[in-house]
C-alpha cells in the first residue's frame, strides 16, 4: 500500500502548476470495526507516531470515555520545536540546534527562549532583532515576497467535510496580534504559517490544547498540524463506523492549502517548493518532482 504523497510541479508561465497523487486510504478505520471504544482509544496512540495522543483523546471524547491522562500538549510542543530547531534550519542552510532544556514543561522559560525575552508587540522589529528564534523566521520571510505561496481559505467550520478549509496551527491562532501583522504584510504564506507554529507554541507554554466534543459521537482535538476530527458510531457497544479527518486530509483536497500555496509560488522560485511543503507539513512521506512546462 502506497503511503507516499506524490507532488508534481511544472512551470505554467510565471507560476507553477501542482498535481497531487494522494496516498492510499488508511486501513485504520476498517481495523477498528467491531472493537470496543476502550480498545480503540488504547490502539490509536500506538498506531500513530505523529499525533497519536490527540487521536486517542478524540476517540475518548467522542465516545464519552474518561479523558484523564490524555494530554496531547507534549507531542505538540515536541513537533513545533522539532521544526524550529532541526527541520527548518537544515532546509534554509542554518545550523540546527538542540531542543531547549526542559522543553516539555513549557512555561515562562520556554516563552523566553522563543522570543529572546518578552513576547514582542511589533513583528518587523522582532524579525530584525536577532532575538530568540527571530533569525529563522526572518530567513523564511526573506525568501518569499509578500503574496508568494499564499493560500487564503475559509476558517475550519466543517471539520468532517473534505472541502478547502484552514485546518492548521496558524489558523487556530490567526487572531493573535503578531499573526494579524504577518497577514497584513505578507499574506497567508510561509511566514504566516511558520509564525503560526511559533505563536501556537507560545500559547501552549501556559494553555492546554483545544479538545471538544462537537456532537454525540463526534470530537475534534488540536494537534501540531491542525485539528483531528473523529466520528464514531457504536452498535451494541462496539464500533460500527469510524470516520477520521486529519489536517493532511484538508491540506491535500483539490484547491486546498497545498495546491494553492504551490501555485502561488513564482516559477523562478521552484527550488523553494520543498520548503513550502515542509512548512505546510503533510503527515506522510512526500515524493516531489519537477517536470517540463505544463
160 and 215, same domain (yes or no):
no
Distance CA 280, CA 185 (A): 19
Plot region of 56 (φ>0 → left; ψ -120 to 50 → alpha; else → beta): alpha
Distance CA 269, CA 9 (A): 12
pLDDT the model gives residue 2: 61
**126 to 90, 162, 181: CA distances (angstroms):** 22, 37, 12
135 and 237, same domain (yes or no):
no
pLDDT the model gives residue 50: 73
What contacts 121, CB < 8 A, 6 or more positions away?
177
SS3 276: helix
Q: Is residue 231 part of a domain?
A: yes
pLDDT the model gives residue 294: 60
87 and 201, same domain (yes or no):
yes
236 and 189, same domain (yes or no):
no
Quick check: 147 pLDDT over 60? yes
Read off φ and ψ for residue 114, nearest 5 degrees.
-60, -55
pLDDT the model gives residue 136: 98
258 and 245, same domain (yes or no):
no
Helix (H) or strand (E) holding 10: strand 5-12
142 and 261, same domain (yes or no):
yes
102 and 194, same domain (yes or no):
yes
128 and 97, same domain (yes or no):
yes
Q: Is residue 116 part of a domain?
A: yes
Domain extent for 226: 29-70+211-250
Q: Is residue 294 part of a domain?
A: no
237 and 167, same domain (yes or no):
no
Q: Mean per-residue pLDDT for 105-133?
A: 98
Q: Mean per-residue pLDDT for 84-107?
A: 97
What contacts 56, CB < 8 A, 6 or more positions away?
41, 42, 44, 45, 70
201 and 218, same domain (yes or no):
no
Q: Is residue 195 part of a domain?
A: yes
104 and 150, same domain (yes or no):
yes
pLDDT tens digits for 169-225? 999 999 999 999 999 999 999 999 999 999 999 999 999 999 999 999 999 999 999
Q: Is residue 291 part of a domain?
A: no
Q: Mean per-residue pLDDT for 44-51?
A: 82
Kindly report the pTM of this predicted structure. Answer: 0.95
Q: Mean per-residue pLDDT for 253-257?
A: 98
pLDDT tens digits for 54-71? 999 999 999 999 998 888
Q: Is residue 272 part of a domain?
A: no
204 and 117, same domain (yes or no):
yes
SS3 209: coil
Helix (H) or strand (E) holding 120: none
Q: Is residue 115 part of a domain?
A: yes
SS3 70: coil
Number of domains forming the structure of the chain: 2
Q: Is residue 262 part of a domain?
A: yes
Amino acid at each position: 500500500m502506497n503511503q507516499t504523497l506524490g507532488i508534481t510541479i511544472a512551470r505554467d508561465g510565471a507560476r507553477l502548476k501542482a498535481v497531487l497523487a494522494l496516498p492510499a486510504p488508511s486501513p485504520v478505520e476498517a481495523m477498528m470495526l467491531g472493537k470496543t471504544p476502550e480498545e480503540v482509544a488504547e490502539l490509536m496512540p500506538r498506531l500513530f507516531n505523529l499525533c497519536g495522543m490527540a487521536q486517542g483523546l478524540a476517540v475518548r471524547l467522542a465516545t464519552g470515555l474518561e479523558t484523564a491522562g490524555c494530554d496531547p500538549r507534549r507531542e505538540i510542543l515536541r513537533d513545533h520545536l522539532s521544526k524550529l530547531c532541526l527541520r527548518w534550519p537544515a532546509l534554509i542552510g542554518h545550523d540546527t540546534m538542540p531542543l531547549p532544556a526542559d522543553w516539555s514543561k513549557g512555561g515562562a522559560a520556554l516563552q523566553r527562549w522563543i522570543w529572546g525575552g518578552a513576547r514582542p508587540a511589533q513583528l518587523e522589529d522582532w524579525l530584525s532583532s536577532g532575538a530568540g528564534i527571530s533569525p529563522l523566521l526572518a530567513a523564511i520571510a526573506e525568501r518569499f515576497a509578500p503574496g508568494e505561496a499564499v493560500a487564503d481559505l475559509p476558517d475550519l467550520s466543517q471539520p468532517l467535510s473534505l472541502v478547502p478549509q484552514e485546518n492548521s496551527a496558524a489558523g487556530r491562532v490567526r487572531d493573535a496580534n503578531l499573526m494579524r501583522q504577518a497577514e497584513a504584510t505578507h499574506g497567508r504564506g510561509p511566514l504566516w504559517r511558520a509564525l503560526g507554529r511559533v505563536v501556537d507554541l507560545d500559547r501552549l507554554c501556559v494553555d492546554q490544547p483545544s479538545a471538544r466534543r462537537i456532537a454525540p459521537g463526534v470530537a475534534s482535538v488540536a494537534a501540531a498540524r491542525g485539528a483531528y476530527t473523529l466520528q464514531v458510531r457504536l452498535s451494541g457497544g462496539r464500533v460500527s463506523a469510524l470516520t477520521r479527518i486529519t489536517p493532511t486530509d484538508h491540506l491535500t483536497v483539490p484547491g486546498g492549502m497545498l495546491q494553492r500555496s504551490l501555485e502561488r509560488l513564482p516559477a523562478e522560485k521552484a527550488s523553494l517548493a520543498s520548503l513550502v511543503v515542509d512548512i505546510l507539513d503533510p503527515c506522510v512521506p512526500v515524493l516531489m518532482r519537477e517536470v517540463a512546462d505544463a
